Amino acid sequence: MNYNWDWSVLLQSPYLGWLLSGAGWTLAVSAGSWVLALAVGFVIGAMRSLPWRPVRLLAGIYVELFRNVPPLVQLFLWFFVFPEIVPNAVGMWIKRGMPLPEFTTTVVAVGLFAGSRVAEQVRAGVETVETRLLPAALATGLTPLQAYRLVLLPIALRRIIAPLTSELLITIKMSSIGLTIGLMELTAQSRQIENYTFHGFEAYAAATATYLVIGLFVTWVMHVVDRRVTGGLAGKRG
């Protein structure tokens, strides 16, 4: 290797600022798309477990469409194709008027993709309790909506915290696809630093470490959440 290691570039101006701003965008995209993924996932996942066929079919189409089309393709479709097929005024607004176009598009694309995967987990969670608890909940006089809101979903949610943690970790790393449409998140900023300084290994190592730290922190938070919500039940599950 003919390489001149210099870790101090990471602390120099403006490169440190680039890294911090990149980490900020990564966190922002992850948070935004995770909120969207949970919202979509819970609605679609609940719909897939309902006893009404047309609703199940509709939700099924969503899940299969969004989890089987590669997320990068989805991102390109939202960014390049979508503004051109809607009415011209709307398209121009998306391209010019919409605040933070790259950020918003990445949140939508990653969020809807992750939403389809969250939906499957929610469905699985609901199905583990549905057969026993749905008739019981209805028998107490709850409406189906109340049965879902008050009984099935809260229990299902507790059961799927572990797979949801994995899903969240994947979503954080998937936020890096935003760089293909010009979002200057963590990976994009490392590439930028590489290009200006030719110290690529240091820059990518910094990005790697940052992803790892974010990931470990999220894992820790989710463990705490898991312990809180499952509480004393943890040992008596199933």
Partner 1 sequence: MKKLLTTMRRIGPGAVLAALFALTPAAGHAQEADSVVKKLESTHTITIGYRETSIPLSYLDSNNKPTGYSVEFCQKIAEGAKDYLKLPELKIKYVPVTIQTRQALVANGTVDIVCGGAVNTWTRQKQVSFTPVSWVSAEQLLVLKDSGIKDVKDLNNKVVIIATGGTSEPTIQRLIKEDHLNVKIMHVNTHPAALLALESHRGDAYLSDNAAFYSIIKQSKHPENLAIVGPELSYQPEAFIIPRNNSTFAWIAGHTMSEMFKSGEAEKLVKKWFGPFGVGVSPKLKAAWETYSFPE
Contact 121, 87 (CB under 8 A): no
Q: Is 219 in the site for partner 1 (CB under 8 A)?
A: yes
Among 50, 104, 144, 194, binds partner 1 (CB under 8 A): 194
| DSSP letters spanning 4-20 | ---GGGGGSTTHHHHHH
Among 209, 221, 229, 233, binds partner 1 (CB under 8 A): 209
Instruction: Please work out, in degrees rounded to the nearest 5, the angle formed at the alpha carbon of residue 207 by the alpha carbons of 204 and 212.
Output: 125
Q: Is 199 in the site for partner 1 (CB under 8 A)?
A: yes
Give the three-class secondary structure for 70: coil
Residue number, 136 or 229, with CB nearest to partner 1? 229
Residue number, 143 or 195, with CB nearest to partner 1? 195
Residue number, 97 or 154, with CB nearest to partner 1? 97
Question: Interface residues for partner 1 in 96-155 (CB under 8 A)?
Answer: 96, 101-102
Q: Is 93 in the site for partner 1 (CB under 8 A)?
A: no
Residue number, 167 or 202, with CB nearest to partner 1? 202
Residue number, 104 or 180, with CB nearest to partner 1? 180
Among 57, 195, 221, 229, binds partner 1 (CB under 8 A): 195
Q: Is 21 in the site for partner 1 (CB under 8 A)?
A: no
Cα–Cα distances in angstroms (integers) from residue 141 to residues 22, 60, 129, 151, 161, in the given order? 52, 29, 18, 13, 29
What is the smallest separation between the CB atom of 72 and partner 1, expressed in angstroms?
A: 13
- What CA–CA distance (Å, rounded) separates 69 from 168? 19
Identity of residue 133: L
Residue number, 88 or 131, with CB nearest to partner 1? 88
- Tokens representing 192? 């930028």
Among 8, 57, 69, 95, binds partner 1 (CB under 8 A): 95
Question: Interface residues for partner 1 in 174-193 (CB under 8 A)?
Answer: 179-180, 182-184, 188, 191-192
- What CA–CA distance (Å, rounded) separates 158 from 38? 14
- What CA–CA distance (Å, rounded) separates 113 from 28? 17
Radius of gyration of the chain (CA): 21
Instruction: Please work out, in degrees rounded to the nearest 5, the angle formed at the alpha carbon of residue 35 by the alpha carbons of 212 and 28.
Output: 50
User: Which residues sit at the interface with partner 1, rule CB under 8 A?
Assistant: 1-6, 80, 83-84, 92, 95-96, 101-102, 179-180, 182-184, 188, 191-192, 194-201, 205, 208-209, 212-213, 216, 219-220, 223, 227
